[in-house]
Amino acid sequence: MKRKEKAKSIIEEFKKFVMRGNVIDMAVGVIIGGAFSTIVTSLVNKIFMPLINWIVFACTGGTGISLITVLNGEKYLLEDGSVNAKCIFIDWGNFIQAVINFAIIAVILFTILKLFTTLRKSIYHKKIEEEKAAAEKKSEEERIAKEKEKELERKIEEQKEELRLSQLKQTELLQEIKVLLEKK
């Protein structure tokens, strides 16, 4: 019974792990990276390397240079055009292709990351500016509300003073009327 529960627990954990956003994003990145690598390899093998070979051929006066260095003295190619299995060699062409592949991928990734970082910064700065504007608007609204409150308090005090003065005048008038009535 415990084994089944433990297996279910592990399966549930694995499901949670796989369904997290960053794991799925990483998987998509790996797939896109593989496809991108194929494109770059094709670009290097079919376009850049022939151009490099043509430039080398032109620079050496038509003799060219061998991009294969044989280390043990055996012939590199057999008469049927296949590679000699006994030949030990360094394939400089493959190395150059790998370096060019790496350089192209590095430049493109750097450019993409730079654009992404710039975009993220601009969005972040825009958000900060919006928050500052909202805070300034709120503080301005609070300042206006305080001014209105002070104005209302001042008017209330004026009205209280007017009421007090009015009551004083009424009291004085009542006393004058009382005095006049007493005189009659």
62 against 90, higher pLDDT: 90
65 against 184, higher pLDDT: 184
Q: Where are the domains of the chain?
A: 1-64
Max Cα–Cα distance, the chain, nearest Å: 153
pTM (two decimals)? 0.47
Strands 68-70 and 89-91: antiparallel
Q: What is the DSSP letter of 161?
A: H
Q: Which amino acid is at 95?
A: F
Q: Which residues contact 84 (CB under 8 A, 6 or more apart)?
A: 74, 75, 76, 77, 78
172 against 66, higher pLDDT: 172
Tokens 């003295």 locate to: 73
Average of per-residue pLDDT values in the chain: 82
pLDDT tops 80 at residue 19: no
* Rg of the chain (C-alpha set): 44
In the prediction, which pLDDT does 65 show? Answer: 56
Q: How confident is the model over 108-153, as pLDDT tens digits? A: 888 888 998 898 888 888 888 888 888 888 888 888 889 999 999 9
20 against 78, higher pLDDT: 78
Distance CA 84, CA 132 (A): 72
Would you tell me how many other CB atoms lie within 10 Å of the CB of residue 44? 20
Q: How confident is the model over 173-182, as pLDDT tens digits? A: 888 888 888 8
In the prediction, which pLDDT does 157 show? Answer: 92
In the prediction, which pLDDT does 99 show? Answer: 85
Q: At 138, list the tokens.
A: 């709120």
Could you please report the per-residue DSSP string of 108-142?
A: HHHHHHHHHHHHHHHHHHHHHHHHHHHHHHHHHHH
pLDDT tops 70 at residue 21: no
Averaged pLDDT, 78-102: 81
Burial of 124 (0-12, 13-18, 19+ CB in 10 A): exposed
pLDDT tops 80 at residue 9: yes
Alpha helices in the chain (DSSP H): 2-19, 21-43, 49-59, 92-183
